[in-house]
């Protein structure tokens, strides 16, 4: 079975400061990893994904994520946070082999960026 | 290009009533799925389909039925609504050749009283 843990329900950061949203995963074999963002009363929007190759993945809106196989982590980062980044962020994992295209999501982390 | 369209956006049901949540996509995606979102629990997979005529159960399938007669449509049926099914429901689709890359609908907020 595959699973994702997002240990922080909420992350608060001041605008202009760097932000990190944490994610760890468990899957048999190698993973595909994803980050999605959800704004209030909206569906989820794809941010970025790790499939293979460079461990640092760059995505939409200046976000990036670092894949760390030894720590089974895929933390989301941004060098300088904006108030408009405030939203709910979901990490998701899919096993490379088996399971079709099923994604398993974490419980989400609410990011609040304050002036 | 509408993407993934869900209807209705809001619904209130009485316990024991049945209803169908509609989901349609116009991207010719093979893969479609239904998730429910509950506070503190993230998104949980209810049912999914890898193509027309093929469906399978996800993590929380009890109380829900699906069918996939066309590539475009993937309706979710609540057979006898229960208060535990109060949730926000999301439909998502993706190409069979894409890894992840789900497109989500805007959701249906369902309240069962």
**Which pLDDT tens digits describe chain A residue by residue (115 residues)?**
789 999 999 999 999 999 999 999 998 888 899 999 999 888 899 999 998 889 999 999 999 999 999 999 999 999 999 999 999 999 999 876 665 678 899 999 999 999 9
User: Does the N-terminal peptide bond of residue A24 adopt cis geometry, omega within 30 degrees of 0?
Assistant: no
pLDDT at A97: 65
Which chain B residue has the Cα nearest residue A92?
A: B100
Evaluate whether B33 touches B92 at the Cβ level (below 8 Å).
yes
Radius of gyration of chain B from its Cα atoms, rounded to whole angstroms: 13
> How do residues B57-71 score in pLDDT, each as one tens digit?
999 999 999 999 999
Of B112, B88, B79, B96, residue with least CA distance to B34: B88
Evaluate whether A2 touches A27 at the Cβ level (below 8 Å).
yes
Note whether B100 contacts A46, CB cutoff 8 Å. yes
Note whether B42 contacts A42, CB cutoff 8 Å. no
> How do residues B87-97 score in pLDDT, each as one tens digit?
999 999 998 77
Characterize A3-34 residue by residue with b for buried, 16 or more Cβ atoms within 10 angstroms of its Cβ, and e for exposed: ebebeeeebebeeeeebebbbbbebeeebbbb
Of A48, A85, A80, residue with least CA distance to A67: A48
* Coil vs helix vs strand at B66: strand
pLDDT at A100: 65
Q: Given CB atoms, is B101 within the 8 Å cutoff of chain A?
A: yes
CA distance B41 to chain A (A): 5
Mean pLDDT rounded to a whole number for chain B: 93
Nearest beta carbon to residue B43 from set A42, A51, A105:
A105
Per CB-CB distance under 8 Å, the chain A contacts of B74 are none
Nearest beta carbon to residue B106 from set A43, A104, A107:
A43
Give whole-number Cα distances, A59 to A47, A56, A77, B84, in Å.
6, 10, 10, 36
pLDDT at B2: 74
Distant-in-sequence, close-in-space partners of B48: CB < 8 Å, separation ≥ 6: A100, A102, B31, B32, B33, B34, B55, B56, B58
Evaluate whether B48 touches B59 at the Cβ level (below 8 Å).
no
Nearest beta carbon to residue B105 from set A43, A51, A90:
A43
Q: Given CB atoms, is B88 within the 8 Å cutoff of chain A?
A: no
pLDDT, mean of each 10-residue run, chain B (113 residues): 90 97 95 93 92 93 96 97 97 81 92 97
Distant-in-sequence, close-in-space partners of B39: CB < 8 Å, separation ≥ 6: none
In total, chain B counts a number of residues equal to 113
Note whether B100 contacts A43, CB cutoff 8 Å. no
């Amino acid at each position: 079975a595959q699973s994702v843990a997002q240990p922080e329900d909420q992350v608060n950061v001041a605008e202009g400061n760097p932000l990190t949203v944490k994610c760890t995963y468990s899957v048999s074999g190698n993973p595909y990893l994803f980050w999605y963002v959800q704004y209030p009363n909206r569906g989820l929007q794809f941010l970025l994904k790790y499939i293979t190759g460079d461990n640092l993945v760059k995505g939409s809106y200046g976000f990036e994520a670092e894949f760390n196989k030894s720590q089974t982590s895929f933390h989301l980062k941004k060098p300088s946070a904006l108030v408009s980044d405030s939203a709910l962020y979901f990490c998701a994992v899919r096993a490379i082999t088996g399971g079709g295209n099923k994604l398993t999501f974490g419980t989400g982390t609410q990011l609040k960026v304050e002036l | 290009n509408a993407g993934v369209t869900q209807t209705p956006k809001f619904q209130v049901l009485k316990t024991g009533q049945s209803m169908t949540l509609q989901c349609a996509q116009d991207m010719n995606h093979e893969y479609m799925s239904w998730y429910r979102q509950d506070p503190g629990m993230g998104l949980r997979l209810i049912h999914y389909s890898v193509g027309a005529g093929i469906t399978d159960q996800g993590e929380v399938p009890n109380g829900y039925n699906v069918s996939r007669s066309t590539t475009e449509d993937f309706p979710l049926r609540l057979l006898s609504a229960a208060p535990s099914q109060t949730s926000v429901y999301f439909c998502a689709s993706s190409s069979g050749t894409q890894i992840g890359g789900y497109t989500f609908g805007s959701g249906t907020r369902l309240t069962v009283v």
